[in-house]
């Protein structure tokens, strides 16, 4: 009986987990199932070899849409992002394997745009600043692991300028 059950599971597992093997191909910013000319719509999940989820993301007409989550091999959340019409939008976050926040930033129209904060694995702030259309802009502060200020920089259009130019 045990051998019959194992044989039955082996026979139907490719059917139950067929989507786990689905490969998406990107062509000109649109995702398709491999060997298809129809833009993919639906949820796509990829897995690590051990069966843990690696990435979970929905698509609409071949474009990323909604929440994208990636996971560390241990199963803990790694990245949490939001897509609209294929573009990164709003707050995006990354996490260490221990669950503590690694980074938190803002995006608009697939560009880093707004404040960003990056943390050490201890949870202490590593640096913070602001992006404007994917370029560093304004005051950026960098911290040592113990929390002491290491340095400050003023950026204008991704270039370091004199600190007096920052408000």
- Asked whether residue 37 is assigned to any structural domain, the reply reads yes
pTM of the model: 0.80
Question: For residues 103 and 1, what is the distance between their CA atoms, to the nearest angstrom?
Answer: 52
- Asked whether residue 2 is assigned to any structural domain, the reply reads no
Write down the pLDDT at residue 21: 65
Note the helical H segments in the chain: 2-16
Measured CA to CA in angstroms, residue 113 lies from 10, 85, 90, 135 at distances of 49, 17, 9, 8
Question: Residue 124's domain is classified under what CATH number?
Answer: 3.90.930
Task: Print the domain residue range for 48.
Answer: 22-165
- Asked whether residue 111 is assigned to any structural domain, the reply reads yes
Please compute, for residue 136, the number of CA atoms within 13 A of its CA located in the half-sphere on the CB side.
16
Write down the pLDDT at residue 4: 47
- Asked whether residue 3 is assigned to any structural domain, the reply reads no
Token pair belonging to 64: 């990323």
- Asked whether residue 50 is assigned to any structural domain, the reply reads yes
Of 94, 45, 51, 93, nearest in space to 74 by CA: 51
- Asked whether residue 66 is assigned to any structural domain, the reply reads yes
- Asked whether residue 28 is assigned to any structural domain, the reply reads yes
pLDDT by position in tens, the chain (length 167): 555 444 443 443 433 343 556 889 999 989 999 889 999 999 999 999 999 999 999 999 999 999 999 999 999 999 999 999 999 999 999 999 999 999 999 999 999 999 999 999 999 999 999 999 999 999 999 999 999 999 999 999 999 999 999 96
Q: Count of domains in the chain?
A: 1
- Asked whether residue 145 is assigned to any structural domain, the reply reads yes
Write down the pLDDT at residue 71: 98
């Amino acid at each position: 009986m045990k051998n019959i059950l194992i044989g039955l599971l082996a026979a139907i597992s490719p059917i139950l987990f067929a989507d786990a093997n689905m490969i998406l191909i990107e062509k000109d910013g649109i995702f398709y199932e491999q060997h298809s000319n129809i833009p993919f719509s639906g949820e796509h999940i990829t897995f690590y070899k051990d069966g843990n989820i690696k990435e979970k993301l929905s698509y609409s007409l071949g474009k990323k849409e909604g929440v994208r989550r990636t996971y560390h091999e241990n199963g803990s959340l790694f990245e949490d992002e939001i897509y609209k019409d294929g573009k990164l939008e709003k707050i995006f976050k990354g996490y260490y394997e221990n669950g503590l926040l690694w980074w938190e930033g803002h995006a608009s129209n697939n560009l880093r745009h707004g404040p960003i904060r990056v943390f050490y694995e201890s949870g202490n702030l590593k640096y913070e600043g602001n992006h404007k259309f994917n370029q560093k802009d304004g005051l950026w502060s960098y911290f040592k692991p113990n929390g002491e200020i290491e340095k400050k920089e003023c950026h204008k259009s991704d270039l370091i300028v004199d600190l007096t130019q920052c408000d």
